Structure 1
Amino acid sequence: MRATEHVRRRRLGLVGGLAAAGLVLAGCGGGAPAAEPDRTLRIVTTVAPVTSIVAAVAGDRATIDGLVPEGTNSHTFDPPPRAARVLSSADVVFVNGLQLEEPTKRLATENMAEGARLVELGTTVLPESQYIYDFSFPREEGKPNPHLWTDPTWAVRYAGLVRDTLVAADPAGAETYVTNFRSFEAGANRLSEALRADQQTIPNGKRELLTYHDAYAYFARTYGWNVIGAIQPESFDEPTPQEVARLIDQIRAEQVPVIFGSEVFPSAVLAEVGRATGARYEDTLRDDDLPGAPGEPEHSWAGLMRYNYVTMIKGLGGQAPRLEALDIAPAVPDTANYPQ
């Protein structure tokens, strides 16, 4: 998504974004939306990558509503009180966890119906011994880096937990959920293999990331990348002048060729840092904002990750033929509601 599209999305506002997605958070009449007759479960999710993973496993046996509008800072998103209506109708609520969506989690626990289940994917699958604390998520703040989904190996674990949860909630759909999980797993494995092959083309093996928002810590640990630093303070404000000065010194000392910004966090400061150091400012990485439009193959977890990997590899001087040739079309249609 280019900057102009990003600004347009942000100006839509929360109410407009949710209404455009067809989500009944905007008080359009009363009551929750009626489930489609051939769908068993009613599921609520948070950020778009989680919604996509859940949709890939649930297939046509669930109605899925995302809560967090794409292009929104998910770390600071506070759902409006009317979101309680959608949460109260859910059989299952899937959140990333790892303290990413605490306001949504609180609203869910206060409003979910008896017997409904709240599942924190990252908190459940990631052992505490493997928590990563880093530049944007310092240990003293007590919040680990929550971005597990940028690593395909952890995304598969998310999908496995979704499968198990849905089988328990809807035993009649067990075969569907198992089959869909296997398809997602196979696609994630193909993506992982293409990534490992294409990253070898980066000159001198310098798989180094200097990012604005630190969304690739688990990915880096799995695939042998080095996150040199992340510029965004834990407050999610712009860096201070002192931090900018240190950053310029670090870029020059380490001869960093590219600063990878985030299209959700546009930063005039980083553009200026790039000009001051000669490093190219690539401002289009996507942490949780899926490419394309809902219903298109690119608008998926696989499409998101392929876009980011290609952007990083090419930005560092490599080529990405295997990633670019990869078929990322989902095995089942994705009909989830994605707020824009």
Structure 2
Amino acid sequence: MASVGLVAGCRSTVPVGGSSGRPVVLTTFTVLADMASTVAGDRLEVRSIVKQGSEIHGYQPTPSDVQRAIGAALIVENGLGLELWARRFTAAAGEIPTLTLSDGMDPLLISEDAYAGKPNPHAWMSPQRAMLYVDRLEQAFIALDPEGADQFSANAREYRRQLQDLDDELREDLASIPDEHRVLVSCEGAFSYLAHDYGLEEAYLWPVNAESEITPKRMARLIDTVRTRRVPTVFCESTVSDKAQRQVAAASGARFGGTFYVDSLSKSDGPAATLLDLQRHNVKLIREGLSSDGSQG
């Protein structure tokens, strides 16, 4: 598979593949499409392979997905084992150069079950790490379209500023949660980076959605954690069923506090239309849920 380092060297002119006449950049899922679009501005046409609301981990690309990818200038992926299907996809679409945003990053490791020792892929959930994604997008887009360098750099600089403001905001918001309630319980272990950055503990039903089997052992372990730690509120993510987590809430005496967005943005009129909106929506639920006394309504 071609690497992003080959983008500038293999093309003397900017490739054109979109209906707009602009070079097409494909991202593996909607969160990355939002980030890439913000850096690209109006110089590139950014599309997501996986649509809103779809589960990224076990996605199965369709023939129409592959057809739409032919002629693209670049594919942007997360890496860290998130998109296990991406190598087959790029091979089928014609060995499109690929940018892996997590390359060079020191990831947090999963500590439980069959995934123990493997990297947690959800690094974009840390605003500080998301800034590293922006750095790589800026570099790759300049290599792809050198004439747009000033625009890409200006967009990236402004986006990094917004992410730093977000980091400051989230740090202040989450600091208000009482010490005895600082356990974040979700369906997927997708909040490791956020928990690490802002001093929370994390508990979940399964490590990653690719392994979302709800065993009696996992269920019992989480119920015991919620009871023992007197966690007032539990949550789940938008791309999986919340049925099991609602059972955890009922069995433990906690309440179900709402739906997080992690692997997918919402629709444009929803609460998580961008990565910045996604983070603010999630943290609002966390702050409200973990600052309560946990009584069920």
1:266 to 241, 248, 273: 241
1:106 and 2:88 aligned:
yes
Equivalent positions of 1:1-340 (< 5 A) are 34-37=18-21, 39=22, 41-112=23-94, 116-122=96-102, 124-127=103-106, 130-135=107-112, 138-139=115-116, 143-204=118-179, 206-227=181-202, 229-232=203-206, 236-293=211-268, 299-317=273-291
> Is contact 1:95-1:105 (8 Å) kept?
no
Unmatched tracts of structure 1, length 5 or more: 1-31, 319-340
State TM-score, norm by structure 2.
0.85
How far apart are the structure 2 equivalents of 1:137 and 1:287?
Answer: 22
How far apart are the structure 1 equivalents of 2:46 and 2:105?
Answer: 24
Deviation at 1:34, TM superposition (A): 4.1
Q: Residues 138-161 of structure 1: CA distance to partner in whole angstroms, max 9, x if unpaired? A: 226xx4211011100111110110
How far apart are the structure 2 equivalents of 1:179 and 1:137?
Answer: 43
How far apart are the structure 1 equivalents of 2:287 and 2:18?
Answer: 45
The aligned length equals 276
Deviation at 1:78, TM superposition (A): 1.1
Q: Secondary structure at the match of 1:308?
A: helix
Instruction: Percent identity, please.
Output: 28
Deviation at 1:297, TM superposition (A): 9.3
Deviation at 1:205, TM superposition (A): 6.4
How far apart are the structure 2 equivalents of 1:125 and 1:214?
Answer: 22
How far apart are the structure 2 equivalents of 1:246 and 1:34?
Answer: 50
Q: Secondary structure at the match of 1:61?
A: coil
> Is contact 2:271-2:277 (8 Å) kept?
yes
RMSD: 2.3
Q: Residues 57-80 of structure 1: CA distance to partner in whole angstroms, max 9, x if unpaired? A: 000001111100111111110101
How far apart are the structure 1 equivalents of 2:87 and 2:73?
Answer: 15
Is the alpha carbon distance of 1:242 and 1:34 closer, same or farther for their aligned partners in structure 2, counting shifts above 3 Å? closer
Is the alpha carbon distance of 1:118 and 1:301 closer, same or farther for their aligned partners in structure 2, counting shifts above 3 Å? same
RCO (CA 8 Å, sep 6+): is it higher in 1 or 2? 1
State TM-score, norm by structure 1.
0.75
How far apart are the structure 2 equivalents of 1:111 and 1:204?
Answer: 50
Which 4+ runs in 1 deviate beyond 6 A? none
Is the alpha carbon distance of 1:298 and 1:166 closer, same or farther for their aligned partners in structure 2, counting shifts above 3 Å? same
Deviation at 1:180, TM superposition (A): 0.2
Q: Residues 231-287 of structure 1: CA distance to partner in whole angstroms, max 9, x if unpaired? A: 126553442223322322222111111112112212322212211211111240111
Unmatched tracts of structure 2, length 5 or more: 1-15, 293-297
